[in-house]
Copies of this chain bind each other. A is one copy, B any other.
Amino acid sequence: MNKAEPTIAQAPRLGEMGLENFAPYLMNRIIGRYNAALSSEMAEMGLTTPQMRSLAVLSVMDGLLIRELAVYAVVQQSTLSRALETLDQNGMIRRAPDEQDSRATRVFITDAGREAYIRLWPQMSDASEAMFKGISEEQRRAFVGTLQTMLRNIRKHDF
């Protein structure tokens, strides 16, 4: 039998567990560095993190509602609105009212937006590969599988 999940009362304190065994701490450290690595590349291209994330998400799922894009791009709606304003002015996206609900806005990536994202992708890919150095293909697949389960968990449980 697997060791049962510790209940709250039994949960070890962070001091006993050690910071480096607490998954959210490790994830914050790693992803903080990944984002920082990309932010200097983005700054050179005149893009902010919310703008870059919007382009990356729209390159895969075009025509999202703003509230959907906020979730996928992990950006607060107020921050996202400002980011989209600038991307629109720079011709990288265009916004259009939803056909069903004219109060809702859908966001579409333009060719210029796609080109900007394509220029950035090698850096995203490099930064990701650097993180996975020395990790086997099998470990990596297991790791991504666990992340996918975690994402389903937070979607369901919404903490």
Residue ranges of A at the interface with B (Cβ–Cβ < 8 Å): 2-3, 5-6, 8, 11, 13-15, 18-37, 53, 56-57, 59-61, 72, 74, 118, 121-122, 124-140, 142-144, 146-151, 153-154, 157, 159
Contact = CB atoms under 8 A, between A and B. Distances in A.
A87 to B, nearest CB: 17
Given A15-B60, A131-B150, A74 B26 contact: no
Task: Choose among A26, A53, A56, A72 the residue with the greatest number of B CB atoms under 10 Å from its CB.
Answer: A26
Q: How many copies does the complex hold?
A: 2
A74 B32 contact: yes
Contact of A23 (B24, B29, B128): B128
B149 A134 contact: yes
B21 A144 contact: yes
A30 B27 contact: yes
A147 B27 contact: yes
Contacts of A26: 144, 147-148, 150-151
A72 B146 CA distance: 24
Contacts of A36: 159
A130 B15 CA distance: 20
Given A11-B122, A23-B144, 9 more contacts: A23-B132, A24-B34, A26-B147, A30-B151, A36-B159, A37-B159, A130-B157, A139-B142, A139-B146
Nearest to A28: B74
